């Protein structure tokens, strides 16, 4: 017990008593909170042992040394006992949490209404990106990726897109931080072409699905965040015929053997010559010519645009350090949302972006 008399407070009995009180209290602690109080009471600034320690200053000579030694030992014992108990209680608490928060992963959740199991569904965009990748992996292509926040140089300049090209305007392209930051949210998967060419030597065969961004408002046919798949091949003797054969194979894998495709001349700064790949309109292709004119899907054209493609512009090959006299390349890029819309007759983009399980589950878990 605390006593104002120095000699009493520092007597070996008093210190022994303080020590044994402390050890008993520590021993009895049932929780970390209790141990915290015990630490304050028995080892804190106002604990008997700390008060006794302060009295040492009033002593001199061998008495001082002796009291100092005894108090030091007692304090050490208390500290060690507190540390040991703290470790025990931590383990105890963890074990209790493991039991109280146990999750039964084998428990079956039934949907109360239908009594069927609640399962998730893969989003059809994920599935189609994998399906397209698989078509190309089977032909020996590798899957390539690039960052979504992309250097303006990769997204535009390296692809032969001039500094004053309208697509660079902030009304079309999202700039990260500021217009002069040099970083954009990529507007196309085409920058993956340049990244790949700088990294690998020909022959190069890559397919790159990914997210792209443009400042469009969300409506039935547009979304500011959408997906494209990019393809690039660089090798000796590649021609437009290889490109057409490759894309026909992709079209058949996506839409069935009977799909009809055509190349329509077009322009992209990074390909020369360039083409638009069209598919024969699924909606009106079977109908007579009168109803074709009224077709809302192709607006009477008989064809719908699927993606862009062409032979890699020699300027782009040279930017990547590839000898354009020795190698040629072809490239293509198409929208995944568009592909799904054609394939499944989806008419509203909202269905694709809202991720409503009632919509996605119709596509099942297929991979």
Q: Which residues lie near ligand DAH (CB under 6 A)?
A: 188, 190, 230, 268, 271, 308-310, 331-333
First to last CA, the chain: 75
Query: Residue 9 or residue 187: which is nearer to ligand DAH going by CB?
Result: 187
Least Å distance between CB 349 and ligand DAH?
Answer: 17
What CA–CA distance (Å, rounded) separates 11 from 70?
9
Least Å distance between CB 230 and ligand DAH?
Answer: 5
Query: Residue 230 or residue 351: which is nearer to ligand DAH going by CB?
Result: 230
Least Å distance between CB 140 and ligand DAH?
Answer: 19
Query: Residue 129 or residue 309: which is nearer to ligand DAH going by CB?
Result: 309
Query: Residue 82 or residue 309: which is nearer to ligand DAH going by CB?
Result: 309
Name the nearest CA neighbour of 270 among 317, 316, 327: 316
Query: Residue 269 or residue 302: which is nearer to ligand DAH going by CB?
Result: 269
Cβ-Cβ contacts under 8 Å for 65 (sequence gap 6 or more): none
Phi/psi at 72 (5° precision): -55, -45
What CA–CA distance (Å, rounded) separates 192 from 198?
10
CA–chain centroid gap for 39, Å, is: 46
Least Å distance between CB 220 and ligand DAH?
Answer: 20
Least Å distance between CB 171 and ligand DAH?
Answer: 17
To the nearest 10 degrees (0 to 180), the angle between helices 61-100 and 12-28 is 0
Least Å distance between CB 360 and ligand DAH?
Answer: 25
Query: Residue 205 or residue 332: which is nearer to ligand DAH going by CB?
Result: 332
What CA–CA distance (Å, rounded) separates 203 from 198?
13
DSSP bridge partners of 207: 143, 231
Radius of gyration of the chain (CA): 37
């Amino acid at each position: 017990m605390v006593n104002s008399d120095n000699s009493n407070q520092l007597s070996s009995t008093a210190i022994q008593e303080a020590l044994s009180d402390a050890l008993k209290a520590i021993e009895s602690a049932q929780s970390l909170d209790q141990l915290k109080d015990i630490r304050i009471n028995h080892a804190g600034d106002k604990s008997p042992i700390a008060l006794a320690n302060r009295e040492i200053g009033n002593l001199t000579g061998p008495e001082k040394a002796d009291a100092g030694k005894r108090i030091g030992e007692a304090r050490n014992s208390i500290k060690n006992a507190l540390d040991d108990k703290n470790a025990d209680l931590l383990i105890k608490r963890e074990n209790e949490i493991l039991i109280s928060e146990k999750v039964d992963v084998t428990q079956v959740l039934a949907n109360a209404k239908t009594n069927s199991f609640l399962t998730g569904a893969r989003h059809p965009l994920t599935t189609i990106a994998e399906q397209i990748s698989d078509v190309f992996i089977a032909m020996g292509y590798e899957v390539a990726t690039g960052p979504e926040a992309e250097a303006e140089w990769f997204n535009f300049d390296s692809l032969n897109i001039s500094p004053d090209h309208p697509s660079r305007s902030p009304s079309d392209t999202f700039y990260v931080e500021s217009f002069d930051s040099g970083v954009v949210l990529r507007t196309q998967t085409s920058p993956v072409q340049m990244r790949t060419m700088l990294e690998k030597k020909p022959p190069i065969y890559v397919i790159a699905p990914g997210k792209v961004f443009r400042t469009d408002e969300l409506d039935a046919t547009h979304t500011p965040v959408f997906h494209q798949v990019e393809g690039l091949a660089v090798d000796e003797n590649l021609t437009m015929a290889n490109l057409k054969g490759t894309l026909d194979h992709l079209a058949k894998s996506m839409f069935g053997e009977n799909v009809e495709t055509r190349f329509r001349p077009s322009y992209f700064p990074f390909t020369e010559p360039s083409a638009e790949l069209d598919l024969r309109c699924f909606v009106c292709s079977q109908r007579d010519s009168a109803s074709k004119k009224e077709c809302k899907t192709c607006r009477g054209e008989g064809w719908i645009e699927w993606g862009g493609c062409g032979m890699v512009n020699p300027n782009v090959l040279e930017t990547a350090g590839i000898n354009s006299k020795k190698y040629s390349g072809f490239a293509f890029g198409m929208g995944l949302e568009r592909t799904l819309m054609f394939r499944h007759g989806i008419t509203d983009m909202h269905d694709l972006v809202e991720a409503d399980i009632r919509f996605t589950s119709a596509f099942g878990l297929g991979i």
